[in-house]
Structure 1
Amino acid sequence: MKKILVIAALAGAAALPGPALPAAFDFNGSFAQDNDVVRFDFNLGLPGAVTLFTSSWLGGGFDPILTLWDGGGNQILEQDDGSLGGALVSNGVTYNYGEFDSYINMNLAAGNYIATLTQYDNFSVSTLLADGFLRDTDPVFTAAFACSNGRFCEGSLFDSNNNPVEPNRTAAWDVHILNVDSASVNSVPEPPTWMLLSLSGLFLLIGHCSRASTAKPVSREVSV
């Protein structure tokens, strides 16, 4: 189960009704599996420059990917490694981000938007959020990167300066969304229907073959 902590503060408080002031929202938590997906919904009342970034890599967290979608789930941008690193202030706190953190800064029209957080290399299958992600059916896909932990493994062994990178990462993540009117963690997207149906059919086939290969009677105990 994911643990999620949310801190949000308005950039100033208004006693009288009026347009919401831009706000900064800070979220953090941890993945349970390599292929977890966290979804964030945010809103802009007026057009403006919006910044989304992660700051968990420098603390040992996994290699994150941020993907930005419009309110209908159409992809705007998918971003893995954002820059060579830096620092930004959110709600009065300075957050450092590293080369393998994700960083997005874009001018967006007023409206509703979605951001998703995944672990490298769990990229989106297509430009539609409903189609899911490459690793939806593989909860320990980073084991292929061969770190001793067996999950949350880093796929890049060296950074851009040719310095070695620690392959064993943690499940921790930190996401910051700046200059928006509201932001929240929403439900995690489910794998697309066609994928679930395919898996269901595979399990049924395996079960049928197993029953056909043995003549021993089978007893089942069912608890309600």
Structure 2
Amino acid sequence: MRFFKSVLSTALLTTFLSLSGMLCAQAATFTFTSSDPSLTPFVNDNDVQLLSFIVSEPFAELSISTDGYAALGGFDPTLALFTDTGDAATDVFLGQSDSLDFATSLYDDVLNVIVPSGNYVLALTQYDNLANGPDNRAKGFLYDGADNFNFTNPLFPGPGGAFNDFDGNVRNGQFRVNVVTVAVPEAPSAVLVLPGLFALVGVVVRRRSVVKGN
């Protein structure tokens, strides 16, 4: 079953809302698309695109989503969120996205989490090229290496080769990722409670299961 709810994200959100009562209406939006001149469509199944952004609010709820699968014919995406320290060895894993609805083949992904101000990086990959570990980004991804350029091809051999989704449909290398940050008002009691919850983020890893036909 590939669809999971982010228990940790929900706990963070529920706790903070109960303490602060409401969300600030102001929001910032970042959109990353393969049609942007500074970005390029995926060429291989195991490509990794790093997307950096800054949260300036003391605390913000991140609502991250993709729509490249539905709108652009793109590959089945997955996202890993990390802190962005400028060094992969110290970039801490914060969460993995989930499909909108795996049961009905809505393979675009979503991720919701509350974070403090700082620099962050999203690692966009094709499912199921997931981050190897929670410790840091330097550990890489499941299908790193030239031998895995077209890792979906052995599962679904045929025309196209690369960018086969979970059902074997041939997709393309296009993508689009949207990040909305909404400021969360601070509350004195929240400042005491949230640090302990944030400490859990770096040690909790949620991996979605997949049946492989190797």
Q: Which TM-score band applies after superposition, normalised by the shorter structure?
A: 0.5 to 0.7
- The percent identity for this pair of structures is 29
Residue 119 (structure 1) shift: 0.3
Alignment partners' CA distance in 1, 2:155 and 2:169: 8
**Which residue number in structure 1 is paired with residue 48 of structure 2?**
37
RMSD: 2.0
Tell me the TM-score normalised to structure 2 length. Answer: 0.60
Counterpart residue identity of residue 44, structure 1: V
Query: Residue 133 of structure 2: which of 107, 111, 126 is its match?
Result: 126
**Runs ≥4 residues deviating over 4 A:** none
**Which residue number in structure 2 is paired with residue 66 of structure 1?**
79
**Which residue number in structure 1 is paired with residue 195 of structure 2?**
none
Alignment partners' CA distance in 2, 1:136 and 1:44: 29
CA deviations 1:25-63 (Å, max 9, x no partner) are 211111011111011111112111111111011132110
SS at match of 1:57: helix
Please tell me whether residue 174 in structure 1 is matched to residue 179 in structure 2.
no
**Which residue number in structure 2 is paired with residue 17 of structure 1?**
none
Residue 84 (structure 1) shift: 3.0
Counterpart residue identity of residue 143, structure 2: R
Give structure 2 stretches of 5+ with no counterpart.
Answer: 1-25, 35-40, 85-89, 184-214
Query: Residue 149 of structure 1: which of 160, 166, 171 is its match?
Result: 160
Alignment partners' CA distance in 1, 2:97 and 2:64: 10
CA deviations 1:123-145 (Å, max 9, x no partner) are 11111210111111111111122
- Cα pair 2:63 2:181 within 8 Å, conserved: yes
Question: For residues 49 and 133 of structure 1, do their structure 2 counterparts lie closer, same or farther at Cα, with a shift above 3 Å needed?
Answer: same
Alignment partners' CA distance in 1, 2:31 and 2:120: 16
SS at match of 1:45: strand
Please tell me whether residue 78 in structure 1 is matched to residue 89 in structure 2.
no
**Which residue number in structure 1 is paired with residue 31 of structure 2?**
26
**Which residue number in structure 1 is paired with residue 64 of structure 2?**
52
Residue 180 (structure 1) shift: 7.0
How many residues are aligned here?
139
Alignment partners' CA distance in 1, 2:66 and 2:116: 22
Relative CO higher for 1 or 2, CA cutoff 8 Å, sep ≥ 6?
Answer: 2
Alignment partners' CA distance in 2, 1:77 and 1:27: 19
Give structure 1 stretches of 5+ with no counterpart.
Answer: 1-20, 86-97, 158-165, 182-224
Alignment partners' CA distance in 2, 1:141 and 1:180: 37
Counterpart residue identity of residue 103, structure 1: V
- Cα pair 1:80 1:120 within 8 Å, conserved: no
